[in-house]
Amino acid sequence: MVAMIPWSKKLKPVIGILTAKKKDGTIGGNGSLFIELQKKLISLNGISFIFTLDGVHDDSIDGFTFIPEKNEWEKINSPYPDLVYNRIPFRKSEEEIKNSTFFSDLKDKKIPFFNPGFIDKYELYQLFNDHPILHSYLPSTIPAIEKQKLRSFLAQFQSIYLKPAQSARGNGIFRLELDTEKKLILNGISKSNEYITFDHFWSDWENILREKNYLAQEEIKTKTYDGKRFDLRILAHAVNDNYIVTGVGIRQSQKQDITTHIPSGGKLLPYDLFQTKEQDFFIENVVEQIGMALSQKFGFFGEFSIDVGISETGHYYIYEVNSKPMSFDEKEIEVKKIEYLCQLFLQLTVHNN
């Protein structure tokens, strides 16, 4: 028999962090984030626990809470929390929860939750493309599932990126370009291919492009530093009904220039190498506009990160917006993230306590 949280009546707020199990049955998600949130919440007289959908009952939830004194996780049974923080790491698991009654049960119980979920890249493009400000920062993008449209798109831009509409961290991304002899060169993070004609390429890729809802995006010729491309990683949080910049990092490509992600060999550079007042103003403005647009369309977003490139002419381009940001390698940004998240938890639960 699992004991109820002994401090649940004393410690407020109680934050439930929703995650999911991996294929091997262990709990997935960002363990270091969960631990740091717990430590900070305890210092604010709150508490948190992590749980998965199969731990949810009608009037209580089975989960795990981190005990800093023991440096270990302890199994608990808790009343419903004051807020649910969605950190499900897998799109498939999130679909299962959306098809369950859990989110509607939370609404019935007047329990706030964020974020609504992963964002489909093309839905995001359409949202921003209709926005009076954000549309000017978008690379041209189309679904890559119609042969003639993709052929024309490649002919127009000569070099394009192919990205699955529902992916993250640069997974499944390729660059497709026409060379001077009109051959097609396809480069990925770890593999490349050549095709004599577009028809040969399409024959090879049609099923993959359609099954994974690939998008085609024009390649932006970006500024370089020491001869290698870089982009901005911006972390943002909701604070007092506004959206503010939590931190900005720089990621630079190294051995391959398809993506600048650190797990794919990218390098971290300090933001102050590139910082200007004009750039800071752009970042602050775009963060506010994106936060409001996302929340109006999909439901309240408490946090997100943005990947931004700078063209050779100095124009900014929004490549991606991530609803469940990865950890930043910059420690000072991670510290601010924990601070802002916990303050947001307190703000969203003040009426419930």
Which position has the higher pLDDT, 90 or 266?
A: 90
**How deeply is 49 buried, as exposed, middle or buried, from its count of CB atoms within 10 A (0-12, 13-18, 19+)?**
buried
Q: Is the pLDDT of residue 149 over 90?
A: yes
pLDDT of residue 309: 94
**Per-residue pLDDT tens over the stretch 328-345:** 989 999 999 999 999 999
Mean pLDDT for the stretch of residues 41-53? 95
pLDDT of residue 242: 93
Q: Is the pLDDT of residue 3 over 50?
A: no
Give the confidence band of 259 by pLDDT, cuts at 50, 70, 90: low
Give the confidence band of 4 by pLDDT, cuts at 50, 70, 90: very low
Q: In three state form, how does the secondary structure of the chain look?
A: CCCECCCCCCCCCEEEEECCECCCCCECCCHHHHHHHHHHHHHCCCEEEEECHHHECCCCEEEEEEECCCCEEEEEEECCCCEEEECCCCHHHHHHHHCCCHHHHHHHCCCCEECCCCCCHHHHHHHHHCCCCHHHHCCCEEECCCHHHHHHHHHHHCEEEEEECCCCCCCCCEEEEECCCCCEEEEECCCEEEECCHHHHHHHHHHHHHHCCEEEEECCCECEECCEEEEEEEEEEEECCEEEEEEEEEEECCCCCCCCCHHHCCEEECHHHCCCHHHHHHHHHHHHHHHHHHHHHHCCCCEEEEEEEEECCCCEEEEEEECCCCCCCCHHHHHHHHHHHHHHHHHHHHHHC
pLDDT of residue 2: 45
Q: What share of the chain in percent tops pLDDT 90?
A: 69
pLDDT of residue 179: 85
Say how many residues make up the chain. 353
> ∠ CA 138-175-213 to the nearest 5 degrees?
70
pLDDT of residue 41: 96
Amino acid (one-letter) located at 9: K
pLDDT of residue 7: 47
Q: Is the pLDDT of residue 170 over 80?
A: no
Which position has the higher pLDDT, 276 or 170?
A: 276
Q: Which is it for strands 242-252 and 214-218: parallel, antiparallel or unpaired? A: unpaired
> Which domains are delineated in the chain?
14-114 (3.40.50), 121-138+222-323 (3.30.470.20), 141-218 (no CATH)
Mean pLDDT for the stretch of residues 295-300? 92
Q: How far is CA 40 from each of CA 2, 313, 349, rounded to the nearest angstrom? A: 25, 43, 16
Mean pLDDT for the stretch of residues 304-330? 93
pLDDT of residue 177: 93
How far is it between the farthest Cα atoms of the chain? 72
Mean pLDDT for the stretch of residues 180-204? 88
Q: Is the pLDDT of residue 186 over 70?
A: yes
What 2-10 contacts at long range (C-beta under 8 Å, 24+ apart), as own/partner pairs, is 2/62, 2/75, 2/76, 2/77, 3/76, 3/77, 4/60, 4/76, 4/77, 4/78, 4/79, 5/47, 5/49, 5/65, 5/76, 5/77, 5/78, 5/79, 7/47, 8/47, 8/78, 8/79
Nearest of 329, 119, 316, 133 to residue 231 by alpha carbon: 316
On whether the CB atoms of residues 349 and 12 are closer than 8 A, the answer is yes
Mean pLDDT for the stretch of residues 170-187? 85
Q: Is the pLDDT of residue 262 over 50?
A: no
Q: Residue 103 and residue 299: Cα distance in Å, rounded?
A: 12
Give the confidence band of 19 by pLDDT, cuts at 50, 70, 90: very high
pLDDT of residue 25: 83
Mean pLDDT for the stretch of residues 221-235? 90
Give pTM, 2 decimals. 0.90
Q: If you average pLDDT over every residue of the chain, what do you get?
A: 89
Q: Is the pLDDT of residue 188 over 90?
A: no
**Per-residue pLDDT tens over the stretch 72-93:** 999 999 999 999 999 998 888 8
Nearest of 181, 139, 135 to residue 160 by alpha carbon: 139
Which position has the higher pLDDT, 100 or 200?
A: 200
**Per-residue pLDDT tens over the stretch 196-221:** 999 999 999 999 999 999 999 999 99
